Amino acid sequence: MSLSPGPLALQGDGFATWRAYDPACKAELWSTCFRGSEGTVLFDPIHWPDSSSPSSAPVWIVKTNANHDRACVDLAKEWKAFLTDHPPGFTSIPLHGAGEAETAYFHRPSGSLVLGDALINLAPHGLMLLPDKYCTDPALLRKSLGKLLDFPVRRIFFAHGDPILQDGRERIQTLLP
């Protein structure tokens, strides 16, 4: 995938995001980076936004679902990064009913949640559930999303859409029955 990513946007607490429009899937793709004491974690990375590499090593690369190959393999080779389902400092939360292997990742110290496709936050619709036509089981996804309410989510980072930087748990709760 050869996209022209926008600049890295710092979001605080070690998190940053970057994005690019992909004409092939007609969607805005977002990636999230976390830089912590144990290294750098990249979630669903598209190509890095500049010629440098993440400043802290080691680097872990995480796909939030089976559909998010993006630039994962290329960046893993380039930076000798680890492809993982269990990045250091994050709790993995399987979200059955979305796409294959859909998993959310929660970083407790910052109250930050990183999501793939289960929830999206694109204008003009705002925060919404993954449309049923893309789900393996829409009812099961709604039930799975209820697990997110067990966490003190402050911020949410998406694979598709602008981050939500406050009241994340409350925003999720408004979507669930």
Question: What is the rounded average pLDDT of the residues 4-30?
Answer: 88
Task: Tell how strand 59-62 and strand 15-22 pair up.
Answer: unpaired
Does the residue 4 lie in any domain? no
Residue 175 pLDDT: 94
The parent domain of residue 123 ranges over 9-173
Does the residue 116 lie in any domain? yes
Does the residue 1 lie in any domain? no
Does the residue 136 lie in any domain? yes
Residue-wise pLDDT tens digits, 117-158: 999 998 889 999 999 999 999 999 999 999 999 999 999 999
Q: How many CB atoms lie within 10 A of CB 9?
A: 15
Does the residue 48 lie in any domain? yes
- Predicted confidence band at 26 (pLDDT cuts at 50, 70, 90)? confident
In SS3 terms, the chain reads as: CCCCCCCCEEEECCEEEEEEEECCCCEEEEEEEEEECCEEEEECCCCCCCCCCCCCCCEEEECCCCCCCCCHHHHHHHHCCEECCCCCCCEEEECCCCCCCCEEEEECCCCEEECCCCEEEECCCEEEECCHHHCCCHHHHHHHHHHHHHCCCCEEECCCECCECCCHHHHHHCCCC
Q: How many domains does the chain have?
A: 1
Residue-wise pLDDT tens digits, 49-59: 876 667 667 89
Does the residue 141 lie in any domain? yes
- Measured CA to CA in angstroms, residue 94 lies from 85, 102, 160 at distances of 11, 6, 18
Does the residue 63 lie in any domain? yes
Does the residue 2 lie in any domain? no
Specify whether the CB–CB gap between 152 and 111 falls below 8 A: yes
pTM of the model: 0.93
> CATH code at 91?
3.60.15.10
**pLDDT at position 1 over 50:** no
CA distance 155 to 44: 17
